[in-house]
Structure 1
Amino acid sequence: MARVIAEITEVRGSGQCSAGHRVGERFVFTQEKTPALCPWALGALLAPAAVLLNGGRFYWAEGDEPTLWACPDPDITVVFRLYREEE
């Protein structure tokens, strides 16, 4: 069974994420559950996580390399690295 890992790689801007997310945190998406994550970040990650969970790829990524996605906060932006893992 596959799962998608969303790992925070960077928090851009001056200050902290309003939801308290920090670099190094990891969140797991599976076919059965979504992680407890800020609703704005979750909204930004649901579609790409679904693509990866269902075996899809992104044309700009070579092979299975991770892709970067960000929450929509223009002041304090949290950047996530998404990749698929087989359990």
Structure 2
Amino acid sequence: MCMTLLRKLATAKLPCTEAALATIDRLRVLEAAGHVKVRIPPAHVDCDDCLRQDAATVFEITLRGWKTLAADAPEEEAPLRRG
């Protein structure tokens, strides 16, 4: 779930990289929702004719992302905004 990933990113040291395809797909959703700033390189065909996806780099959680985290968490567990 994307909220689980957003919570994980809230505790991570950013920027960070994510290489798993499922995680990159979730990052696309979070980026489209305006919750994170991320660079996801375009997939490319490698020399063995296989489609490859390089790792994504997450740069920051946006204000919208922090607000979403705060609204989702019980008050005593609401994340403190870093920045």
* TM-score, structure 2 as length reference: 0.27
Higher strand share: 1
- Compare CA radii of gyration and give the structure with the larger one: 2
* TM-score, structure 1 as length reference: 0.26
